[in-house]
Structure 1
Amino acid sequence: MSALYSVQGFCAQINGQQLVRGVDFEIAAGEIVALAGESGAGKSMTAMTPFGLSAATASGSAVLGGQQLIGMGEAGLRRIRAAHIGFVFQQPLTALTPHRTVAAHLTEAVMQAGGDRPSQGAMIAMLAQVGLPRPDEKLRQYPHRLSGGERQRVLIAAAIAHGPELLVADEPVSALDAALRGEIMNLLTGLCRKNGMAMLLVSHDLAGIELYADRLLVMRSGKVEEAGEARQIARAPSTDYAQALMAATPRMDDPMPPLPKPSDRMFEARDIHVRFRAPSWRSGHIDAVQNASLQLAKGETLAIVGGSGSGKSTLGRALSGLGPMQSGQILWNGTSLPPRGRRKAEHRRLIQPVFQDPVASLDPRWTVSDIILEPMRWLLPDAGGAARVELLLHEVDLPPDIARRKPAALSGGQAQRVAIARALSVDPEILLLDEATSALDPLVANGIMQLFVKLQEERGLSLLFITHDLALARRSAHRIAVMEQGQIVETAERGQLFAAPQAEATRKLIAASH
């Protein structure tokens, strides 16, 4: 089978620093080749640089349909991208232009490849092809009005609107829940097989790659560590590095490790209700969370799982006082906490958040020291200064010189450890972890989860862990609460939940995670 896209001896450098060295692979029409590895391994740079979509300078060879891309000028690369390649990125909300409708995105994708302005019927067919419900309505909507799965489907529709020979998908499903991940990857795979379109897939989900990719390249520090048939590497990797990546990837059939034993219940939420005004000209409200109740013991991890839009993050923000709560009661050791607008510092320090995007959650203008000190100034002013910052950095396994850096100089894992140190700075009792590892590669994410276990043992911390990764919840949580359409439909010990799920939503999540 002849290659549609061939990369030989590919290298990439920035400011004289060699970041990718000697990468070789080929992709035939209808074939899917995946690049996997830890953050900084060079996956995205290898995928994007030949097409002029990175800051790196390339050398070697990258040939698409007989045309050499290395050394081609920007005008030529622009024509190649417009006519022959589609791109699907990790964050559809940032990849789509916020002030343009879905119809405008599809029209641009077709016309930049030299096609005529598509008719409304043609655009409806494009959206129907990617499984988007009510496509005629979606054409008039803007990206912020769509769910995460709908936005990703629009991005895919725009990426294939001009019939590309090659699709480059950079972490296309890592921000989605298990059910949507499966739907989107099945969609992409089906489009490749049906249309004879090749796909270069960048992913850190090794557990999922074997289901979709034909071949896999495992990268480390800019070089290929292991390459071959995807299923063979995923099931029996030959290198120590690939074995470590696989071991760090949570799977539903992994044994459940022991967890620190929790003590007495200290936190309880009763009948939490969160309502928002409907985001349109129509009157009315959306009940985002309805009658949600849960309990948490000292030293316990409670995972809150559910599909996109199920209300997980909204509930977490209400419980921590970061978001609104129309009704309900939150009790601390049996005493009701005041509404969030009337909470004192002693109340607000009890629950501290760690968010999904580690770099975006840190102020880019501040040093790490300033970031960690900021909550202390408001909530625990007598806690100390630079000496306490150094102690907190040590507690999250970071060197003291990190204190002088700014977020842009940190890796994703380092930035998340800084965010954890910031949360710990006011001696909280509970950490609210809102998808705190979903943006990280398996090795870094596993290190962060091990850090949480260590902190739990040393500090007696309780964890409210919001996640769409059911395998990770199974590995890390004492109990799991399942949400659907704003309601907690089931709460159980992890072993009980997976052995005998009671709610239909739970059974669907478990099935989608295998």
Structure 2
Amino acid sequence: MSEGYVVRNLGVRVGDRTIVEDISFSLAPGQIVALAGASGAGKSMSAMTPFGLSAGVASGSAMLDGIELVGMPERDLSRIRAEKVGFVFQQPLTALTPHRTVGQHLQEAAMQAGGVKPDKAAMVAMLESVGLSRPEERLAQYPHLLSGGERQRVLIAAALAHGPRYLVADEPVSALDAALRGEIMALLVRLCRERGMAMLLVSHDLAGIEHHADRLLLLESGKVAEAGPAQQIATAPATDYGGRLMAATPRLSEPLHQLPDTGETLLEAEAIHVHFPKPGWRRGRIDAVVDASLSLAEGETLALVGGSGSGKSTLGRAIAGLGPMAAGSVRWQGTAMPPRNRRSSEHRRLIQPVFQDPLASLDPRWSVADIILEPVKWLVPHEYRAERAADLLEEVGLPRDFAGRKPSSLSGGQAQRVAIARALAANPAMLLLDEATSALDPLVADGVVALFDRLQRARGLSLLFITHDLALARRTAHRIAVMEAGRIVECAPREELFANPQAEATRRLIAASG
């Protein structure tokens, strides 16, 4: 029986629509092959459909250790998955069952192919192998008690619990900050090399693939645009499509772009404290933000960066009046802003948010026009609303006739542009951008970043850009503030921050992003 995974002329259809066409590649034991491309390119469909884990119907051939997967009944596919393949998914919180403990997840995964129930020592060893701290304590914990990186490590441990020969990892690190992305990818690569396990990696992060994959297939509209050594394609693609993907992926080595000029100080936040009670029956509190101070000028972009759980979003929401603030002050053009429960509609108009998940931030029952005009529906006379919504759509680069659509008919990038139009409806002076591009692929995200730049220049907007992507912060921000454990440990102009980082947290982020 021949070893390896060999795909020839793979096609995938969903209903009458062809999603993937004529994909071919091979995956040998111990090898890592990556499928990359923009959203909708067919990456996940190509990886998951032969194993029966998508809504698509496969054609062509997919041979796993000499066994044909295409056309195999689901009962037999289930056995193949249980015996030979492990799967690591993008969102660990949704991939893990919320009412099962970590230990129960590991037991179920280890026994799926008829194996014996692992004892406590075996499960502790599983968690130790993926670098999870305090493994014995984790066995009794539920997924919601773990951080994003810890959940992803549990998901990897569960994927490996039955000793698979193949690993399919679908965007396994895109939801994590730069430091965690590097750690988790290094972990996956190490486990593959040590165990002689082959990995099929789905990712839109060309910079990450460059360092971790052996071969790369660049997919465009369901077809292979380019294939070859990963480092070669990631650094010097031969196609225009590959070049655009590479250019859209921020890198610390790229030349700095000219940013718009800034004006007088607009906002000052001083000594902000935010804390929450500890969950459940435990007494005490969690200090999410501690003594954080920052300022923002007219027309300036300030990037707030840091690892997961560092307090970035909590601080941004406190400043904008969207979340609690236990102590501290916020001044707008030198005048103190009242607490959030006493802020007037005029105060709320000044700072408008754009959130991470565009589709989740839009009401699925409403039309695009109703969503956009929600912040000002009492200020715009009924007869002018359609024109106002259409003008805002045009300003964010969408057709005017999108006004009658529902969010379910929009792509991720289109939905984020609608969210931006909604934020602009109130004519704000400042936008709070909370990971506003992290859910988008590089090409779409680059278009949204270009839109922010255009709007900033046209409207004189100030931007507080919360991101875990240090390379993106370097590309877009005048100044960068670094947070760790709820504190701002460093804040400097972008050139100074990278030339002479002062805080250890900053040096770690730069090293992880390089």
* TM-score normalised per structure 1: 0.98
Task: Tell me the CA shift for residue 313 of structure 1.
Answer: 0.8
Deviations 1:73-118 (A, max 9, x none): 1111111112211111111111111111111111111111211111
Give the structure 2 partner of residue 157 of structure 1: 157
Task: Tell me the CA shift for residue 208 of structure 1.
Answer: 1.0
Give the structure 1 partner of residue 509 of structure 2: 509
Tell me how far apart the structure 1 counterparts of residues 255 and 54 of structure 2 sit (CA, whole Å): 41
Gaps of 5+ in 1: none
Give the structure 2 partner of residue 373 of structure 1: 373
Tell me how far apart the structure 1 counterparts of residues 165 and 370 of structure 2 sit (CA, whole Å): 49
CA RMSD in angstroms, aligned pairs only = 1.3
Mapped contact 2:3–2:28 kept (Cα < 8 A): yes
Mapped contact 1:3–1:26 kept (Cα < 8 A): no
Tell me how far apart the structure 2 counterparts of residues 137 and 281 of structure 1 sit (CA, whole Å): 18
SS at match of 2:310: coil
Determine whether 1:223 maps to 2:216: no
Residue 97 of structure 1 aligns to which amino acid in structure 2? T
Give the structure 2 partner of residue 77 of structure 1: 77
Tell me how far apart the structure 2 counterparts of residues 329 and 63 of structure 1 sit (CA, whole Å): 63
Task: Tell me the CA shift for residue 45 of structure 1.
Answer: 0.7
Give the structure 2 partner of residue 391 of structure 1: 391
SS at match of 2:403: helix
SS at match of 1:269: strand
Give the structure 1 partner of residue 346 of structure 2: 346
Matches within 5 A, 1:69-218: 69-218=69-218
Tell me how far apart the structure 2 counterparts of residues 274 and 210 of structure 1 sit (CA, whole Å): 40
Give the structure 2 partner of residue 286 of structure 1: 286
Deviations 1:191-220 (A, max 9, x none): 000011111101111011010000000000
Tell me how far apart the structure 1 counterparts of residues 509 and 286 of structure 2 sit (CA, whole Å): 24
Task: Pick which of 447-456 and 72-81 moved more.
Answer: 72-81
Mapped contact 1:3–1:27 kept (Cα < 8 A): no
Tell me how far apart the structure 1 counterparts of residues 87 and 434 of structure 2 sit (CA, whole Å): 28
Mapped contact 1:99–1:142 kept (Cα < 8 A): yes
Identity %: 69
Determine whether 1:303 maps to 2:299: no
Tell me how far apart the structure 2 counterparts of residues 323 and 96 of structure 1 sit (CA, whole Å): 28
Task: Tell me the CA shift for residue 281 of structure 1.
Answer: 2.2
Task: Tell me the CA shift for residue 401 of structure 1.
Answer: 2.2
SS at match of 2:4: strand
Gaps of 5+ in 2: none
CA distance 1:382–1:267, shift in 2 (3 Å):
farther
Structure 1 residue runs of 4 or more that deviate by more than 2 Å after TM superposition: 380-384
Tell me how far apart the structure 1 counterparts of residues 405 and 458 of structure 2 sit (CA, whole Å): 27
Tell me how far apart the structure 1 counterparts of residues 280 and 320 of structure 2 sit (CA, whole Å): 28
Give the structure 2 partner of residue 68 of structure 1: 68
Tell me how far apart the structure 1 counterparts of residues 356 and 45 of structure 2 sit (CA, whole Å): 23
Tell me how far apart the structure 1 counterparts of residues 456 and 229 of structure 2 sit (CA, whole Å): 40
Aligned length: 513
SS at match of 1:385: helix
Task: Tell me the CA shift for residue 16 of structure 1.
Answer: 0.9
Task: Tell me the CA shift for residue 280 of structure 1.
Answer: 3.6
Tell me how far apart the structure 2 counterparts of residues 7 and 191 of structure 1 sit (CA, whole Å): 24
Mapped contact 2:3–2:66 kept (Cα < 8 A): no
Task: Tell me the CA shift for residue 374 of structure 1.
Answer: 1.6
Tell me how far apart the structure 1 counterparts of residues 20 and 499 of structure 2 sit (CA, whole Å): 45
Give the structure 1 partner of residue 478 of structure 2: 478
Give the structure 2 partner of residue 46 of structure 1: 46
Tell me how far apart the structure 2 counterparts of residues 160 and 355 of structure 1 sit (CA, whole Å): 34
Tell me how far apart the structure 2 counterparts of residues 165 and 443 of structure 1 sit (CA, whole Å): 34
Tell me how far apart the structure 2 counterparts of residues 83 and 131 of structure 1 sit (CA, whole Å): 24
Task: Tell me the CA shift for residue 382 of structure 1.
Answer: 5.5
SS at match of 1:349: helix
Task: Tell me the CA shift for residue 3 of structure 1.
Answer: 5.1
Task: Tell me the CA shift for residue 359 of structure 1.
Answer: 1.3
Tell me how far apart the structure 2 counterparts of residues 375 and 42 of structure 1 sit (CA, whole Å): 37
SS at match of 1:325: coil
Mapped contact 2:372–2:389 kept (Cα < 8 A): yes
Tell me how far apart the structure 2 counterparts of residues 404 and 124 of structure 1 sit (CA, whole Å): 54
SS at match of 2:338: coil
SS at match of 1:454: helix
Tell me how far apart the structure 1 counterparts of residues 456 and 120 of structure 2 sit (CA, whole Å): 56
Tell me how far apart the structure 2 counterparts of residues 102 and 314 of structure 1 sit (CA, whole Å): 28
Matches within 5 A, 1:193-272: 193-272=193-272
Task: Tell me the CA shift for residue 360 of structure 1.
Answer: 1.4
Mapped contact 1:407–1:415 kept (Cα < 8 A): yes
* TM-score normalised per structure 2: 0.98
Tell me how far apart the structure 2 counterparts of residues 188 and 404 of structure 1 sit (CA, whole Å): 45
Task: Tell me the CA shift for residue 377 of structure 1.
Answer: 2.4
